[in-house]
Chains A and B, each alone.
Chain A
Amino acid sequence: MNNIAWLITRRVTAGLAVLAVVSTLIFLTVSMLPGNFATEILGQDATPETVAALNRELGLDLPLHARFMEWVGGILQGDLGRSLANQRPVSEIIVPRLFNTLFLAVMAAAMAIPLALLLGLVSVLFRDTPADRILNLGTLSTVSFPEFFIAYLLIVLFAVKLRWLPSIANVSATDPLGVRFEKTLMPALVLSLVVVGHMMRMTRAAVLNLMEMPYIEMAVLKGASRWRVIVHHALANAWSPIITVIMFNLAYLVVGVVVVELIFVYPGLGQLMVDAVQVRDIPVIQACSLIFASTYILLNLGADLFALVTNPKLRRR
C-alpha cells in the first residue's frame, strides 16, 4: 500500500508540475513575439500614445517577473484580466460559456460511452463477420472524415431534409431545459460520433485481448453462451483499460468542442477562443487556453491514476 501511495504522489506531483510549466508557457506567449507586441497588434501607423496605453493595459511596461507574479496572483483570485476587444472582465465572459461547453461535452459523453461499449461488445461477439467489418469501416470513417463533414451531413439530413432539429444551437441562459436539450442535441451527436469510433475500437481490442486467455476457454468449454462469456467473464477484466480509454476520450471531447461549436454557432468556450484568436484578444486567448489545457491535463492525470490503481502490472517498477 505504501508503494502505491508513493506512486500516486509522484504521478500527481508530475502532473501538477506539467500544469505549472504549461501555464507559464501560456503566459510567456505574449513575450514570445519578436518586436513590440502592441505595435504588432495596432499596426505600423499607431501613435506612440496608443501603443503606450496598450502596453500599460497588458502590463507590458512592467518587468517580466513582476508581470508573471501579478498574472498568477490574479488567476488564483479568479481575476483573468480584461478583454482587449470589449473591456469586460474575462472571467465574466467565460463563466457562462464554460457552463455551455461542459453541458455539451457531458451530453455528448452520455450518448457516446454506452454506444461505444455496446458496439464494441457487438463487434467482439460477431468477430470477423460482415457486421464486424461494417462497424470497422464505420468507425474508420468517423475518425477519418473531418468533424465539419459529419456535422454538415447531419444538418442536411436532420435540419434541411427531415426538419426534425434546428441547425443552429444558439442556446441562451433563459432557455428552458427542454429547449436547451433540443438545441444541443445535434452538436452533441456530432461530437459523440467523433469519439465513439476510437472508444469502440479500444473496447473491442481490450476485450479481444482477454478472449485469448485460458480462463475464457474454460468458460467456453463449460458451455457458457458467447454473450455470457463476453459480458461476465471477459468484460469484468477489461473494465480497467476501457475506463482509461473513456477518460482519455473525455479529455479529447473537451478540446474537440471547438470546431463543433463554431459550426452550430454554439456559445461555448471554443467559439469564444476562435473569435479571440481572430482579433488577437490575448487575455481571452490565454484564459481559454489555460482552461482547455488544465482540463485536458487533469483528465489525463485522472486516467493515469485510475490505470495505476486498477492494474497491478503497472505498479511493478
Chain B
Amino acid sequence: MTAGTREALMSFPRRLAGAAADMSWGTRLSALIIILYGFAALFAPWIAPYGESEIVGPPFEPWSRTFLLGTDNLGRDMLTRLIYGIRNTIAISLVATLISFLVGVTLGLLSAISGGWVDAALSRVVDTLMAVPQLIFALLLLSVFGTSIPVLIAVITVIETTRVFRLSRALGMDVAAMDYIDVARMRGERTGWIIRREMLPNVAGTLVAEFGLRFCFVFLLISALSFMGLGIQPPTADLGSMVRDNASLITYGDITPLLPAAAIGFLTISVNFVADWYLKTTAKPDASA
C-alpha cells in the first residue's frame, strides 16, 4: 500500500468521527445495529450459549429459560444458530465482496486509463456476463462445480466483480481525463503507480459507499442461495437455511423462523442507511473539491 491510499484510509476514521456529530437519529441507530452485528460475529463463540451444531434438546422446543428462542428442527439451540449464522454469513459475504472490489476496482481503473483494446475487451466480457441474470448464473455455476464455500465465494465474486468493474470504470473515466494524470504520464510514471497514487484516492469515497451497498446484495444473494439449499451447507449455521429448515413452524403460527430472515433485513437496511449518509456527507465534498 502506498502513502496516498494509506493517507486516504488513515483520515477515514477521523472524518467519520467528525461527521458522526451531524448524523440523523436513523443513521446513528443504523450504525449501532451494525456495531452490534459486528460484535456478535466476532465474539460468537463467547456469546452463544451452546456449541454451533451441538444438539441440546428435543426438536422444536418452545421459547424457555434454557433455550431463549427454542430449538430448531434437529434440536439445536435457535439463539446459538442465529449468532453463528450471522457470523458465518457476514464472514463469507465480506470475503466475497472484498475480493470482488480488489479485482473489480483494479480492472476498472486499468480499463479507464488504458482505453484501447484492453478497455474494449474487458468491457465486452463484463457486458456479456452482466446479461445473464445473477441468480440463474449462480445456479448454473453451482450445479457444475458443486456447492462448497470456496466455490460459493468464487461464483459470487465473478458476479459482483462485473458490477464493481462497471462503476469503477465509469468513475475512473472522469479522473483519467484530468490534467494531473497527463502530468504523471509525462513524468514517466508506470500505469500501476498512476492507478494507485493518482486515481484511487480520487474515487475512494464513492467506492466506500458502494462497498456497503454491494455487501448488502452479496448478503442477500448468499441468503437466497442458502435458503434454496445451494449456499452454505449444513452443519455450518447460516441465516437463509435456518429459515427454510424451520419453515414448518410458521404454519403453526410460530414466528421463530422469521427471526433469521429479519436479522438479514435489519443488517441490510442499516448498512444502506449508513452508506447513504456516508455518500451524502463525506464523499460529496471530495468530489466537488
Contact = CB atoms under 8 A, between A and B. Distances in A.
B110 interface: no
B258 A289 contact: no
Contacts of B167: none
A56 B265 CA distance: 47
A292 B144 contact: no
Contact of B258 (A149, A273, A276): A149
B143 interface: yes
Nearest to A14: B127
B143 A152 contact: no
A interface, over-half SS: helix
Given A146-B261, A276-B143, A160 B250 contact: yes
A160 B139 contact: no
B257 A146 contact: no
Given A140-B272, A156-B250, A274-B230, A289 B142 contact: no
A266 interface: no
A262 interface: yes
B203 interface: no
A144 interface: yes
A33 B220 contact: no
Interface string B138-160: 01111111000000000000000
Contacts of B135: 255, 258
B136 A29 contact: no
A293 interface: yes
A156 B227 contact: no
Chain B interface mostly helix, strand, loop or mixed? helix
Most buried by A among B144, B258, B268, B272: B144
Q: What size tier do the contact residues of chain A reach?
A: 35 or more
A161 B252 CA distance: 9
Contacts of A33: 144-145
A18 B250 CA distance: 43
A146 B136 contact: no
Given A262-B228, A274-B228, A144 B143 contact: no
A145 B268 contact: yes
Interface extent on B, as a size class? 35 or more
Contact of B127 (A18, A32, A141, A282): A18
A12 to B, nearest CB: 14
A155 B272 contact: no
B131 interface: yes
A293 B272 contact: no
Contact of A30 (B134, B144, B268): B144
Given A22-B128, A146-B223, A156-B255, A32 B144 contact: yes
A276 B142 CA distance: 11
B133 interface: yes
Interface in A8-49: 18-19, 21-22, 25-26, 29-30, 32-33
B133 A296 contact: yes
Contacts of B264: 145-146, 149
B261 A149 contact: yes
Interface in B143-183: 143-145
Interface in A253-297: 254-255, 258-259, 262-263, 273-274, 276-278, 280, 282, 285, 288-289, 292-293, 296-297
A239 interface: no
A149 B240 CA distance: 10
A22 B136 CA distance: 12
A144 B276 CA distance: 14
A21 B144 contact: no
A33 B143 CA distance: 10
Given A25-B132, A149-B261, 11 more contacts: A22-B132, A144-B268, A146-B223, A146-B240, A147-B224, A160-B250, A160-B253, A259-B224, A263-B247, A274-B139, A296-B132
Interface of A: 18-19, 21-22, 25-26, 29-30, 32-33, 140-141, 144-149, 152-153, 155-156, 159-161, 167, 251-252, 254-255, 258-259, 262-263, 273-274, 276-278, 280, 282, 285, 288-289, 292-293, 296-297, 300
